[in-house]
Amino acid sequence: MAVGDEIRFDDPENQCFGCSQHNPRGLELTFRHVAPSEVETRYVSDADLCGAPGIIHGGVQAAILDEAVGFAVHAHRSHQRGDDPRADRRRIVTLEFSLRYRRPAPAEVPLLVRGRVANEEPPDFHAEAEILDLDENVLTSATARWRLLDDDAPHSGQ
């Protein structure tokens, strides 16, 4: 996978709320690989994903940022291996996730979402993600630790 490529998990069996292109109630997120360990996307939330009027529900923001971190880990690993992130059949899962709401994230307007792997301590990946407005003001930020599971470990998460 090359920097600049789009990462899309479009397997019909994938019903992930965050990244499935086949879940009609999901976010249908895709990301672009913008640096060896970084991804980004533009996202416009529907009005029905609001908490307060006109503001994206905090749980939806958390899901968006968790996906950004997961896509960043996939991009990071595929860059290291030199292949497509969908070729990796080992599972990665969220172990820790910390979120900070800085400013209201408005629904129905384009927002920028970025995720990046800050460092790797096998089998763990430490990463961060942000939701920004188009002026690049940080609206919501997150840090996370994800783990690469062994092939024989129970599969949950991404």
- Encoding tokens for residue 150? 């062994």
**Is the C-alpha dihedral spanning 87, 144, 125, 123 positive or negative?**
negative
Q: Does residue 60 fall inside a structural domain? A: yes
User: For the chain, which residues score pLDDT lower than 70?
Assistant: 1, 84-90, 151-158
> Token digits for 16?
């992930």
Q: What CATH number does the domain containing 111 carry?
A: 3.10.129.10
Nearest Cα neighbor of 79 from 157, 4, 149 is 4
**Within-domain flag for 23:** yes
Give a yes or no: residue 40 inside a domain.
yes
Note whether residue 155 is domain-resident.
no
78 in a structural domain: yes
CB-CB neighbours of 112 under 10 Å: 17
Question: Which tens digit of pLDDT belongs to each residue from 48-92?
Answer: 999 999 999 999 999 999 999 999 999 999 888 777 665 666 688
Give the predicted TM-score (pTM) of the model. 0.88
Range of the domain at 133: 6-148
CB 75 within 8 A of CB 39: yes
